[in-house]
Amino acid sequence: MNKLITSLAARFPDLTEDDISLSVETIIDAMSARLISGGRIELRGFGTFSLNVQAIGTCRDRMLEASSDVLESPIVIFKPGQVIRATVNDAD
């Protein structure tokens, strides 16, 4: 995050560090709210983010011979776009 703030500060010298930090936090908060509400985020060329909920299940501990319920848990899924995939594949 500090690297992003530093690069933005160099690119836009009129903005203060507090302005840039607030901007980045606002964007991240908006993206999080969109995912929580069940939406999907698409950044062209970068990829898409979506939220998937892992189902409820049971977990068994063989040593204790006991079982317990596993609650639903949200998982953020990221699918890279073509530009990111090509960049990563070319780096190998």
pLDDT one digit per residue (tens) for the chain, 92 residues: 577 777 777 888 888 878 888 888 999 999 999 999 989 999 888 899 999 887 777 777 777 777 777 777 888 999 999 888 888 888 76
State pLDDT tens for residues 9-27.
788 888 887 888 888 899 9
CATH 4.10.520.10 residue ranges of the chain are 41-92
CATH number of 41-92, picked from 4.10.520.10, 3.40.190.10, 1.10.1040.20, 3.10.450.50: 4.10.520.10
First to last CA, the chain: 26
Q: Residue 13: what are its φ and ψ, rounded to 5°?
A: -65, -20
61: Cβ contacts below 8 Å, ≥ 6 apart: 67, 68
